[in-house]
Amino acid sequence: MQRNVGIVTLGQSPRRDAVAAMQEVWSDEIHVCDRGALDGLSEERIADLKPEANETALVTQLRDGRSVLLSRARMEGLIQESVNELAEEKYDPIVIYCTGPFDLDPGPVTLVQPRSILTALVRALVPGARLGVLVPEDSQRAALGDLWENEGFAVTAAVASPYEFADEPEHFARAADQFAAGSVQFCVLDCMGYTESMREFIVEHVGVPAIVARTAVAHTVATIL
């Protein structure tokens, strides 16, 4: 039986890398529709969503490949609209393609939030470990570090954008050096934009296991399909 699964990305659709990453794990019988929370918005409206100094930032990709910073608080309403649209179109489950914590109403569908999955997996695998947490943007370092510390982990947070890996791998090398200096025992690539090749880079350079959010989410969703 064909299942219809929705993916809500923070940027603009089509987000082919997101769909491809999920379908590498899911059955060929799964029909996937991705919806971007910024779809249909003007450049001016997107610019208005840039985070203020006191707001938590999210980073995502536009249709033309540009990466943009967005206010997490002001994105919640747009993400909810995309969830509602996909639910009305009978997509279930719906996956939020971001590891940020969001206060969303699932309505009648199963809503998959990567934050919950990633946190639960790491707690189960390495409770109380010294974590190396990789984040895409410097302004996220403190907020995401605090989230993991509140879960009982000692944290070394470092910054490297997944959208710059091909052109600026030195950012990942610098992050790996920070993790090694912090004697971390496990690494978390805390953004859905990170890939398996980026995880492998961190593992090779730090010498400890690592988990990448998109793969963990894909396999978890596969169990309910």
> In which residue ranges of the chain is CATH 3.40.50.1860 found?
116-213
pLDDT band at 163 (very low <50, low <70, confident <90, very high): confident
Q: Confidence class of residue 198 from pLDDT cuts 50, 70 and 90?
A: very high
CATH class of 116-213: alpha beta
pLDDT per residue as tens digits for the range 145-154: 999 999 999 9
**Across-strand partners of 154?**
130
Question: Could you tell me which of 195, 186, 131, 208 has the C-alpha nearest to residue 160?
Answer: 195
Does CATH number 3.40.50 belong to domain 3-113+216-224?
yes
Q: For 3-27, write each residue's pLDDT tens digit.
A: 899 999 999 998 888 888 888 898 8
| Helix/strand/coil percent split, the chain, to 5 | 40, 20, 35
* Model confidence pLDDT, tens digit, residues 132-143: 999 998 888 888
pLDDT of residue 27: 82
Q: What pLDDT sits at residue 128?
A: 94
Task: State the Cα–Cα distance between residues 114 and 111, nearest whole angstrom.
Answer: 10
| pLDDT, mean over the chain | 92
Question: Which pLDDT tens digit goes with each residue over 79-133?
Answer: 999 999 999 999 999 999 999 889 999 999 999 999 999 999 999 999 999 999 9
- pLDDT, residue 1, reads 65
Helix (H, G, I), strand (E, B) or coil at 180: helix
